[in-house]
Amino acid sequence: MSASSVDPLQRIAELPGVDAAVEQARTVVDRLLGHRVLRRRSADVSMESALRGARASAVLEGADADVETLEHVRSGASGDPRVKGALRVSGELGILVETWPKAPLQALARLHTLAAADAVPADRLGRPRAGGENGQGREGGESAVDPLGLGAAPAPAEVSARLGALNSLLATRSSVPALVVGAIVHGELAALRPFGWGDGIIARAAERLTLIERGLDPKSLVPPELGHLESGAEYGAALRGYLAATPEGVGTWVVYCCRAVEAGARDSLATCEALKRG
């Protein structure tokens, strides 16, 4: 029996272009991890990465989040709930690293509570979208915010089934590169929009959480969210390719996510160089 027949992610890792993209991204991340500035300033780089990632994720949700706005919100002032949510999510990723592989759905519920605390009723926090009275599909269920223009979200019953599959996938250790696992986690959550509000923030945070927990970026130095923002329209296009569920679409999405991680790593390398210059 081949490895790919046992591990469904292995088939994705073997798609054309994926291995090369993984190696290229890993090379840049390793260069970042080996930067001598990190011997003394690792916490500073991690904090800068967290802030830049949070800002990028909020902007991708449609928020106006320039640096001045970010500082205003961080000071405790009122502000766009997307910015506040992204900052809270970013600040708690380190706490969720241990929970993520053991209880992914619990971690996702916590991420939604953090992301949506200022946007949805308290009794909806951490709870996936519900169906109508008869548990019907899109017609009877709660709506989902769609900042990337992906179209109608899957019905709650499908969301529940696919979240269960994702939970099983994450609970099983795999030899597949963290970059591939992170891309699939991101793609699934962005496609499902399980909670209806803040799902993009959650999907991008879950990708980053996967990269941290699976050892690619143990100190959370890389902001892939920034890479997704800088890619412009390519982000939505690649995600729509993933939604098509064809080998080509899924492979293109994984390659795209690797490039976003690479861009985030290069940004943190620039931060390291700036710190070195003083």
**C-alpha distances in Å from residue 46, one per residue of 137, 142, 148, 258:** 42, 37, 28, 20
The Cα–Cα gap between 1 and 10 comes to 13
pLDDT of residue 138: 41
Residue 141: band (very low, low, confident or very high) from pLDDT cuts 50, 70, 90: low
In the chain the domains, ranked by start, together with CATH numbers, are: 8-128+146-277 (1.10.3290.10)
Amino acid at 102: K
The C-alpha R_g of the chain, in whole angstroms, comes to 18
Q: Who's near 6: CB < 8 A, 6+ residues apart?
A: none
Quick one: DSSP state of residue 122? Answer: G
pTM, full prediction? 0.92
Give the number of other Cβ atoms within 10 Å of residue 16's Cβ.
Answer: 11
Amino acid at 234: E
**pLDDT tens column, 13-61:** 999 999 999 999 999 999 999 999 999 999 999 999 999 999 999 999 9
pLDDT of residue 174: 83
Q: Name the percent of the chain lying above pLDDT 90.
A: 83
Q: Who's near 148: CB < 8 A, 6+ residues apart?
A: 60, 190, 200, 235, 236, 239
Is the separation of the CB atoms in 54 and 225 below 8 Å? yes
pLDDT of residue 132: 44
The Cα–Cα gap between 144 and 196 comes to 4
Q: Who's near 258: CB < 8 A, 6+ residues apart?
A: 18, 21, 22, 24, 25, 179, 183
Helix H or strand E encompassing 156:
helix 156-171
Mean pLDDT of 103-122: 97
3-state secondary structure of 246: coil
Amino acid at 237: A
pLDDT of residue 136: 37
Between CA 212 and CA 220, with CA 218 as vertex, the angle to 5 degrees is 70
Residue 179: band (very low, low, confident or very high) from pLDDT cuts 50, 70, 90: very high
Mean pLDDT of 177-184: 98
